[in-house]
Structure 1
Amino acid sequence: VEDVTAPVVACQDITVVLDATGTVTIAGIDVDGGSTDACGIASYDLDIDTFDCSNVGDNIVTLTVTDVNGNTSTCTATVTVEDNTSPVLVCQDFTLELGADGTAILDPSDVIASNDDACGIFASAVDITNFSCADIGAPITVQVFTIDVNGNLATCTAEVTVVDNLAPVITCPADQTVDPGPG
């Protein structure tokens, strides 16, 4: 007796989430939707089993089911890859020196000690950017925001101390001769 009947293959769509390193690996059984074979199934193989940041979104994979006698059948499934991991953001306090005009602009990089994400950083910002003489004194708390390329947000706070280290500039008028007049 010879088994020449291929397995009855069934696929199911799945959603997977990237880990903190930006990768995820699946097995054929993960997309199997209940494949059967009278003599038994030997393996569930995928054409693509490892996903990374470049695969965020829908990906079509092919599942090949092989029975114990070497007969195969295939089906396709959609593997939706998601990145739900927020960036790792560490803030640092910063001393901001005012310019000659009595103002200064805080750049996010001034208060970010480190900013990392497996899939990449899209943008960083602070909630307060413009400072002036009125801000000299007690440190000012700023909120720092970072968003990665897949929309995940991280926040932290930093203390900004505003200082005026420039000596005043005095412009004296030209010498003048004063005539006290008679008397």
Structure 2
Amino acid sequence: VEARFEGNVPDGYELRNVQITPSAVRVRGPQSHVEAIQKAHTESIPLEGQTGNFTVPQTAIDILDTKVTPLDSVVAVRVEVGEQRIERRFAGVAVRAVGDDVQSVLPARVAVVLRGSRSALEALKAEELEIVVEETADKSVRPRLLLPSGLEGRAELVSTEPDAFTVTRKGT
């Protein structure tokens, strides 16, 4: 089943995900007609004015071939709409390593690319960000982004430049 939409979400927003339950429906009709159907569409779902997630619990299945009848005539459609996401580069972001035995971490500052909602990233400054370098079980080093309070979950780390870190521990 594929959702059919009418109109567009408002400027500054994007359609992020569509989930249809059930994702397939049973149909009845002459075998040659049934086999010719690649997918069934839903009735049109209006997007105008939608700025958040919404669910249409009883969306009709719309099959153009009148000789084919859907046995499951409705599906639930969950639509995720959110603020447009962008990528933005920040230079001079501080880096620190985790652990009591850390002597130093290099580089001390990096450039990062973040992906997140437009309003969150446009308001953010490099000095509000921090990269925390953590050592994993296999001794590899992994960077983790620390965001200011209130922005958790609204941005994610895409890349760091440079992408390699050296952690020097006391006594090594």
Q: Fold conserved (TM > 0.5)? A: no
TM bucket (normalised to shorter chain) is 0.3 to 0.5
Asked which structure has the greater CA Rg, the reply is 1
What is the TM-score normalised by the length of structure 1?
0.32
What is the TM-score normalised by the length of structure 2?
0.34
Which has the larger strand fraction? 2
